[in-house]
Amino acid sequence: MDQVVNRELLDKVIAISAKAGEAILDVYNASGELEVDTKADDSPVTAADLAAHKILAPALEQLLEGVPVLSEEGKMPGYDIRSQWQRYWIIDPLDGTKEFIRRNGEFTVNVALIENGEPVLGVVHVPVLNITYAGAKSLGAIKQDASGEKTIAVRAMQPRLDSGDAIEVVASRSHGAGAVDALLERIEGSLGETGLKNMGSSLKLCLVAEGAADLYPRLALTCEWDTAAAQAVVEAAGGIVVDEAFNLLRYNQKDELLNPFFYVIGDQSFDWKSLLLG
């Protein structure tokens, strides 16, 4: 199954994600009040979420024959059906709907390909900035912006510790602040100064992937479509995403689609486990 996870496939997913981003911007930049509806789980949804879904789902279905698409804005098959999927697309057409409504630009299009529970390809497109993070298990990770394309990778901890630089932690703007503050105190007690960046959507994982942050603790609930694409980018860039027991985060393993709390770690050679679980 791995043979189709190549640069050609990645480029096609990048193009599809950018097209979905254009549909989102059409709504974002329109004059007048944003219409916001509420879904059954009390989460917000807008015309932009639905417009992006209508572009992504059929395009991805055509990209790999017989590979289903699981979308936050689509029909949710039961686990009796999903458990039979060895390979599928998982998408969040607009990750960061609350950020979209606030019009702060911190929202993304997330597309991932899952194989046997592992995210093997991911694209995270940032419509407002026209930036795309992408990666695949066999290809490494890239960032595309107005200046072109460059390879990205996580950064090492030891040079920062040697030079006394702050350990950069990125966290959610909206969730789990108290638990993160307690964790920051523990890190500062062990390693010294920390810097905290608050941000919405899967951009937080991408900061770790490109070496702009060292750690992202997520000590609040997320869904699998929130993380899969960016996890693929992080892992392609040399990092890991682990649960609170330091097991790799995996997908489609249970009836519900909620993730456990997790940590996004850049430098795998640093002993984060002792520090975070101590």
Residues 200 and 234 in one domain: yes
Binding site membership for substrate: which residues? 72, 94-97, 226
Q: Which amino acid, residue 68?
A: P
The number of beta carbons lying within 10 Å of the beta carbon of residue 166 is: 14
Q: What is the pLDDT of residues 176-209, one digit of tens each?
A: 578 888 899 999 999 999 999 998 889 999 999 9
Look-up: residue for tokens 């795998």?
268
For residue 3, pLDDT beyond 60: no
Residues 140 and 250 in one domain: no
Confidence at residue 1, expressed as pLDDT on a 0 to 100 scale: 45
Domain count, the chain: 2
* Token representation of residue 130: 């026209």
> Which CATH number goes with the domain that contains 224?
3.40.190.80
Residues 77 and 179 in one domain: no
Residues 106 and 166 in one domain: no
Q: What is the pLDDT of residues 250-263, one digit of tens each?
A: 999 999 999 999 99
**Final residue of a structural domain among 152, 183, 201:** 152
Residues 135 and 57 in one domain: yes
> Which CATH number goes with the domain that contains 83?
3.30.540.10
For residue 31, pLDDT beyond 80: no
Its pTM stands at 0.95
DSSP letters, the chain, are -GGG-SHHHHHHHHHHHHHHHHHHHHHHTSSSPPPEEE-TTS-EEEHHHHHHHHHHHHHHHHHSTT--EEETTS----HHHHTT-SEEEEEEEEE-HHHHHHT-S--EEEEEEEETTEEEEEEEEETTTTEEEEEETTTEEEEEETTEEEEE----SHHHHHHTPPEEEEEESSS-HHHHHHHHHHHHHHH--EEEEEE-TTHHHHHHHTTS-SEEEE-S--BHHHHHHHHHHHHHTT-EEEETTSPBP-SS-SSS-BPPPEEEES-TTS-HHHHHH-
Confidence at residue 176, expressed as pLDDT on a 0 to 100 scale: 59
Helix 7-28 with 47-63: angle, nearest 10 deg: 160
For residue 2, pLDDT beyond 90: no
Residues 228 and 172 in one domain: yes
Residues 214 and 104 in one domain: no
- Is 267:275 a contact under the CB 8 Å cutoff? no
Give me the percent of the chain exceeding a pLDDT of 90.
83
Residues 177 and 114 in one domain: no
Residues 7 and 145 in one domain: yes
Q: What is the mean pLDDT of the chain?
A: 93
- Average pLDDT value for residue range 91-119: 94
In angstroms, the CA 230 to CA 201 distance is 10
Domain of residue 246 covers 158-277
Q: Worst-scoring range by mean pLDDT, 72-76, 109-113, 149-153?
A: 72-76
Q: Which of 182, 101, 138 is nearest to 5 (CA)?
A: 138
Give me the percent of the chain exceeding a pLDDT of 70.
97
For residue 70, pLDDT beyond 80: yes
For residue 91, pLDDT beyond 50: yes
Residues 118 and 11 in one domain: yes
Binding site membership for Mg(2+): which residues? 72, 92, 94-95, 226
**Final residue of a structural domain among 93, 120, 152:** 152
**Final residue of a structural domain among 152, 173, 195:** 152
Binding site membership: which residues? 72, 92, 94-97, 226
For residue 103, pLDDT beyond 80: yes
- Where is mean pLDDT largest: 41-45, 95-99, 187-191? 187-191
Residues 41 and 102 in one domain: yes
Residues 64 and 7 in one domain: yes
For residue 175, pLDDT beyond 70: no
